Structure 1
């Protein structure tokens, strides 16, 4: 089977020359379809830069990145935008919900950009919100919901179009312990249903939910190990850096 992610000797260099910063320094990485991977590192380690590359939000200075067999470096901005919209569901720490829209409208918005008709996108958005336990909150705006509920709206938005990849950047970072466990349970369920889940975090206890843990430091991968959570149980939130 063709690898989902195939990165070879990737560099991201800022200020080339004497004062250059190597946010990524020769990263080689592959991820198969259906994996649940955590990429772990403290602030400044390069994990966020790597996430931007994986999500086609930025392009490397050097190196190659094949996403599901496509050479990302050869794609136009419009083609990259299409990949982000159709193949990757993003979940961010800050929720990124539009305050003036209710939950249903927030989840529907990316589906409009995909050209789906009103009835189809309304159905998909409703199903996604029900999937994350918010079927009774469709008409609530973000300010009328807790942080955990807002993050579940963000997950519903990410999964409504049924993308094969979920890319979650510190998805529990702004949440209390219970809400964090709810979010990790949903991500685990999505993985068990066949999605590829890539989790970006600074927290070892959150990373322990994944089936593979990749640690990043100074723009390089310093370890890449399989992981076996106890009977698939979600871990409580922690605040432990690597």
Structure 2
């Protein structure tokens, strides 16, 4: 089976020359469709740079990145933007919500760039917010929501267009334990429903809840293993 994601000898070098920084130093990996993966590492390990590559937010200095069999490592900004919009749902630690838009407006925003009409994108946004348990908070703006609720809006925004890949960058980093559990349960449910979910984290507790862990140190893969002891609970989403 062709892997959903295939990375070959990926390098990312900043400030080439005497003071160069090798953020990625020869990364190779494959991720199959439907996997639930954590990419874990400390600050400066290269995990965020790898996330930018996998999310088509940046291109490597050298190496190849195949997404659905297509080499996307040298595409133009416009082509990468189109891939991001159709293939990948992003969830960020800082929520990245627009302050003057309510929850529905925030979820609708990426749907505008897909060219959907107003009624259709409103219907999709409402459905997504109901899925994450915010059916009664749709008209609230970010400053009227708790951190956990804001992150659920961000999740709804990521899943509204039903992208095959969910890429979550430290999705629980700013949340309390209760909200962390809620967000992780949503991510588990997305995986159960067939999505490929990739979490970028520094937290071993978060990593212990996924099927596969890829540990990054100094821009290289130190370890890549399956969580054999993980309790395989099925969530409905």
TM-score of the two chains, using structure 2 as the length reference: 0.97
Deviation readout 1:184-208 (Å, 9 max, x if unpaired): 0000000000000000000000011
Hey, what does 2:9 align to over in structure 1? 9
CA distance in 1, matches of 2:184, 2:5: 23
SS of residue matched to 1:205: helix
Gaps of at least 5 residues in structure 2 are: none
Higher mean alpha-carbon deviation, 225-234 vs 123-132, is at 225-234
CA distance in 2, matches of 1:162, 1:174: 25
C-alpha distance in 1 between matches for 2:206 and 2:114:
32
Residue 136 of structure 1 deviates from its aligned partner by: 0.6
| Aligned residue number for residue 25 of structure 2 | 25
Q: Look up the match of 1:240.
A: none
- The alpha-carbon deviation at position 232 of structure 1 amounts to 2.9
Find the aligned partners of 2:144 and 2:174 in 1 and give their Cα distance.
17
Q: Which residue of 1 aligns with 2:172?
A: 172
1:232 corresponds to which residue?
233
Report SS of the residue matched to 1:230: coil
Per the alignment, residue 239 of structure 1 pairs with: none
Alignment partners' CA distance in 1, 2:210 and 2:52: 20
Q: Distance in 1 between matches of 2:125 and 2:15?
A: 43
Please give the residue correspondences for 1:6-85 in structure 2 after superposition, counting only pairs within 5 Å.
6-85=6-85
Deviates more, 1:98-107 or 1:15-24: 15-24
What TM-score results when the alignment is normalised by the length of structure 1?
A: 0.95
Partner of 2:217: 217
Please give the alpha-carbon distance, in whole angstroms, between the structure 2 residues aligned to 1:175 and 1:219: 27
**Is residue 209–residue 232 contact of structure 1 (8 Å, CA) maintained in 2?**
no
- Structure 1 counterpart of 2:107: 107
Deviates more, 1:142-151 or 1:10-19: 10-19
Tell me the residue number matched to 1:145: 145
Query: How much is the aligned-residue C-alpha RMSD, in angstroms?
Result: 1.1
Distance 2:18 2:108 in 1: 47
Where 2:73 maps in the other structure, the secondary structure is helix
Mark the runs of 5 or more structure 1 residues left unpaired by the alignment. Answer: 235-242
**CA displacement at 1:17 relative to structure 2:** 1.5
For residues 53 and 105 of structure 2, the distance between their equivalents in structure 1, rounded to whole angstroms, comes to 28
CA distance in 2, matches of 1:79, 1:21: 27
Alignment of 1:123-138 (within 5 A): 123-138=123-138
1:114-158, CA deviations, whole angstroms, 9 ceiling, x for partnerless residues?
Answer: 000111101110010000000111100000000000000000000
SS in 1 for 2:97: coil
